[in-house]
Structure 1
Amino acid sequence: MFQNVYEQPVTKYEYFCLCLYSPRSYKLGLAAWLCYSINMSYKFNKNQKLLIQLINGDVIEGQFVSSTSSRLNVRNCLTPHTQTKDPSTQHFYESEIVNVKAFELEDVQSDTSEEQLKVEVEANKVIKIPQNKYNALKALNKSYVYMATMDARYYTAVDDLVNCETIACTILSTDFGRAAPIELLVLATWEQVYIFDISLYNCKQFPDALKYILECEDIVKVVHDSRGLVDCMHHQYHIKVMNIFDTYVATEMVSDEKLTLPECLLYYFNFPLTLIKEAMDLKQMSEWGRRPLSDEIKQYAAMNVQYLITLKNHLQKQLLKEFHERVLKHSQSTIEQSYLNAQMSLGSLNINKE
C-alpha cells in the first residue's frame, strides 16, 4: 500500500539535543549537525495521496501538487487538528519533514475534478477570515463613490489614491479587446471604492491625475489578470501601467491553478462562488455602456475590485513563505551557534576532568 520515499530517523533538533545533553558525544553530535542534509527529490504523480510526518509529530494527509529541491507542495490537507480538508495548497519544507509515505497509484481513487473540488469546498460554509472583516468587505460595494464629472469628489478621490501604497484596479467596457472604449475605471483602497466614469469626461486624453496613479511605481496596482488592462491602456492612451500585483499569476504560482476571481475567493477564503460571479459575468456586456448607470450596475462595478487587496495579501504571504522561513533560520543561527559553542566548551571541560 505504501511506498516509503525516505525516512530520516534523527532530525536536526534531535542532533542539537544530542550535543546539549551528551557531553561525551558532543563531537559526534556537532559533526552530525553540520553535515546533516536531506535530499528532497520527490517523484510523485499529481494528486497522488501522501502521508507526511513532521518534526512536531503531526501526520498530514494530502494530495501531491508539485515539489522543489527544498519544498513539497500539497493540497486537500487533513491534519489531526482539522475535521475537513483544506483545498488550498500548503507548503512543507525540508526542515519540517521527518518522513513521507505515498499510496501506490492503484490504491488512490480517481483524481478529483475541478468541479467536484469547487462543490466540496462550497459545501463547507465556514468563511476563512474574521466575520467582521468579511462583513466590512461585503459592505464596500454599497459605499462606493461614483464620479460622472471631475468635481470636488474626483479630486478628493485622487488625493486619497495618490497617498496609498496599494490599490485595487480594473477597467470595464462594452466589449473585449484593445479597441473597445473604456467605460469605467474602478479603483479601490482598503476602505473605499472609487468609480471613475471615463466615458463622460469628454477628455481628448486620459485624465492626467489618473494616468499618474497608473504609472506611479510607488503604488502597487492589484489586478486579476492584468493583460486586458495593460493592453488597452497602452494602445488607447500610451499609458504604461507600473508595479502590478497580478492575483491571477500569483494563484498560478502558489496553487498551480488557473482560476477566475470568484474561484480564487472560493478557493482561498471559502467565499460563496455566487458572491461576485454575476458581476464578473457582466464585465464585458453592454450594461457598462448604458447611461445613466443604475445603482445595481455601480455595485457590480465595485464588486470587481473590493476583494482584490485581501486576496493579494494572502497570496503574497504564500509566495514569501520560503523567504520568511529562511529569514527566521538565518536570524536564529547565531543563537544556535552560541549554544553549540557553550556545549563544546562544557564537553571539553568534562573530558579534561575524566
Structure 2
Amino acid sequence: MALGCERLGALLERTVKLTLRCGVFQGVLQHVNPDRSLLLRRVKNLETGRSTPGVKMFFDHEIVNVELLEEPDSGKGTAALSECTSAVEGNKRAEAGPADCGPWTSLCDSLESQLRVSNSLKYSLSEKKEEENVKYTVVDCSQQFGPAVLHLKQQCVVSVAGEGVNLCRHGKLSWLEVATSSHIFLFDIFFLGPWAFKNGLQMVLEDKNILKVMHDCRWISDCLFHQYGVLLSNVFDTQAADVLQFSMATGGFLPHRVCTLQECLMQHLKIPSKCDAIMKCGQHVASENPDIWFLRPFPASLLKAFALKAMYLLLLHSTLMDNLMSDLTAVVHDYLNAYRTASGHHLGSTNSTCMELPEELRQLARIQKLRRENAVKDYKMNKDGLLIRPAMELKERNDPYKDGNYRDDGERFPTDKAVPQITSFHNWEIKIKKP
C-alpha cells in the first residue's frame, strides 16, 4: 500500500469531510483502498442535511479534497480546508473527464438508501409528522388473518417483535408485530390465541427460507417454544449483530453490555426524536399498567408504537448488514484490482504462489491492530477486559439526522478527534489544524 494510503489509514474511525465534484459529504472513515477509493459509514450530505446509514464508497476521481473534522464539543468548528492548487485541479480534471458523477450519482442522494425500505412500505411519511402517518393492519379475525399469512409466506425478509407481560415461558404474549417491505401486521395473539400459530404463523416463523429480523430474540423464543410449540429459525438478531459490529470496529474488543433496541436505532439509524419518543412512551404506559395488555379495544397510540418498532427493525437490519460486510466489501474491491491494474509481468505462472495469503488480505491484520489501538484510547476498560459502553440518551435537536456523539458522565465514548499533523494523500491535501 502506498505511503499516502498508510497515512490516511491512521485516520480510520475518524469523521472526515469529503468535497466531491457532485457535492460535499461527511462520514466516518471505514477503509482506505490501494486505488485511493474510500469507504465511509454514517454518511451525511452536508448540502441537504440528510443522512444515510450503511457504507458508501467514494472513488478517487470524484474527490477534490479531504478534511478531518475536529471534536464536536471542542468549540473550534472544523479544521481548515486547504484549497487545491490549479495544477492539482488540472490533473483531477484530466483523470475524471466530464464533470459528472457517472455511475455513482447515487452518492449525491444520500437519503436514498435510508428510505429504500420505508418508502416501499408505502407510509407516505412527512419529515415532521412521521409518527402520524405510519400505516398498519390489526389482525384480530379470520377474515384478515388468511390474506396476512399468505402475504408473509411470499416474503424473504420480515421483522418480528412481541409484546406482553414477562415474555418467556411463564409470561403472556399479547401482540406479535410482523413487518414486510410493503405491510405491517399487528397480530392480536391475546384474542386469536394458539389458533393463530396453528393456522399459519408457526409455518412462517419456522420457515428456513424467510429471514426473521428480531432484537434480543431470547425471551420471545422461549415463550413461543414452550407455549405454542414454535421453533424459531433463520433469525437475524440486531442486538447480537450490534455487538459483532462493535467488536469489528474496535479490533476484536467486546463491550461490557448490550444495547437496547432504542439505542441501536439511535446509533445506527439516527431516528427522528418524535418516533423515538412514541416508542418510549408506549413502553412507559405498558410498564405503568401491565393490565393494559388485556384491554380491548387497545390504545391506538401503543399500536402505532408497535408498528414503528417493526418498521425500524427492517431498516436496522439493512444498516447492520452493510456495516458487518464493509471489510469484506473493501477486500473484494482490492481483489478485483489486484492483477488487472498491475503490469502483468509476474502473471506467467501463479501455481507456486496462488495459495499464499495475498497482501490484500494481510492488510486486515494491520487494520484490526489500528482499531484496537484507537479503541484503547477511546474507551475505558473494566476488570474483565471489556470496553465500557456508555448508555445513550436521545437529546432534542433541530436536525433529527444530525450526526453526533453522545456522552455519559464518567465514561468515554468514541469521539472524532483532530490529529495534530498534516497528511498528504495522492492529489488531495488533508490539513488538520493544531489545537
What TM-score, normalized to structure 2? 0.49
The residue identity in structure 2 corresponding to 1:314 is T
The residue identity in structure 2 corresponding to 1:180 is G
Q: Residues 264, 134 of structure 1: CA spacing in aligned structure 2 closer, same or farther, 3 A cutoff?
A: farther
Correspondence for 2:276? 276
Correspondence for 2:345? 341
Q: How does 1:118-267 map to 2 (within 5 A)?
A: 129=114, 133=119, 136-137=122-123, 139=125, 142-149=134-141, 151-203=142-194, 206-255=197-246, 258-267=258-267
Correspondence for 1:23? none
The residue identity in structure 2 corresponding to 1:278 is I
Q: Which has the higher contact order (CA 8 A, sep 6+)?
A: 2
The residue identity in structure 2 corresponding to 1:154 is F
Structure of higher CA gyration radius: 1
Correspondence for 1:296? 301
Of 318, 323, 338, which aligns to 2:323?
Answer: 318
Deviations 1:55-96 (A, max 9, x none): xxxxx99999x99xxxxx9999999x8999x9989899xxxx
1:87/1:267 contact within 8 Å kept: no
1:137/1:307 contact within 8 Å kept: no
1:215/1:240 contact within 8 Å kept: yes
Report SS of the residue matched to 1:194.
strand
Report SS of the residue matched to 2:320.
helix
- Give 1:204 shift: 6.6
Correspondence for 1:21? none
Rounded to whole Å, the distance in 2 between the matches of 1:244 and 1:155 is 24
Rounded to whole Å, the distance in 2 between the matches of 1:166 and 1:87 is 21
The residue identity in structure 1 corresponding to 2:320 is L
Deviations 1:138-170 (A, max 9, x none): 759742111112x23211111111110000101
Deviations 1:19-45 (A, max 9, x none): xxxxxxxxxxxxxxxxxxx7xx99x9x
- Give 1:309 shift: 1.1
Report SS of the residue matched to 1:276.
helix
The residue identity in structure 1 corresponding to 2:228 is Y
Rounded to whole Å, the distance in 2 between the matches of 1:76 and 1:218 is 30
The residue identity in structure 1 corresponding to 2:170 is A
Report SS of the residue matched to 2:233.
coil
Q: Residues 316, 109 of structure 1: CA spacing in aligned structure 2 closer, same or farther, 3 A cutoff?
A: closer
Q: Residues 343, 299 of structure 1: CA spacing in aligned structure 2 closer, same or farther, 3 A cutoff?
A: closer
Deviations 1:241-271 (A, max 9, x none): 1111112222222247743333333323332
2:27/2:44 contact within 8 Å kept: yes
Of 313, 328, 337, which aligns to 2:333?
Answer: 328
Q: Residues 324, 183 of structure 1: CA spacing in aligned structure 2 closer, same or farther, 3 A cutoff?
A: same
Larger mean Cα displacement after TM superposition, 231-240 or 129-138: 129-138
Percent of aligned pairs sharing the same letter? 19
- Give 1:320 shift: 0.7
Deviations 1:109-151 (A, max 9, x none): 999xxxxxxxxxxxxxx979459849955759742111112x2
Rounded to whole Å, the distance in 1 between the matches of 2:148 and 2:222 is 25
The residue identity in structure 1 corresponding to 2:303 is K
Larger mean Cα displacement after TM superposition, 137-146 or 222-231: 137-146
Rounded to whole Å, the distance in 2 between the matches of 1:192 and 1:294 is 20
2:216/2:237 contact within 8 Å kept: yes
Which structure: greater helix fraction? 1
Larger mean Cα displacement after TM superposition, 186-195 or 221-230: 221-230
The residue identity in structure 2 corresponding to 1:267 is Q
Rounded to whole Å, the distance in 2 between the matches of 1:225 and 1:246 is 6
What TM-score, normalized to structure 1? 0.59
Rounded to whole Å, the distance in 2 between the matches of 1:75 and 1:335 is 27
2:157/2:213 contact within 8 Å kept: yes
Q: Residues 312, 157 of structure 1: CA spacing in aligned structure 2 closer, same or farther, 3 A cutoff?
A: same
Rounded to whole Å, the distance in 1 between the matches of 2:15 and 2:309 is 37
Q: Residues 88, 204 of structure 1: CA spacing in aligned structure 2 closer, same or farther, 3 A cutoff?
A: closer
The alignment yields a C-alpha RMSD, in angstroms, of 5.1
Q: Residues 281, 296 of structure 1: CA spacing in aligned structure 2 closer, same or farther, 3 A cutoff?
A: closer
Q: Residues 175, 277 of structure 1: CA spacing in aligned structure 2 closer, same or farther, 3 A cutoff?
A: farther
In structure 1, runs of 5+ residues without a counterpart are 1-6, 12-37, 53-59, 68-72, 93-107, 112-125, 345-354
- Give 1:305 shift: 0.4
Rounded to whole Å, the distance in 1 between the matches of 2:72 and 2:151 is 53
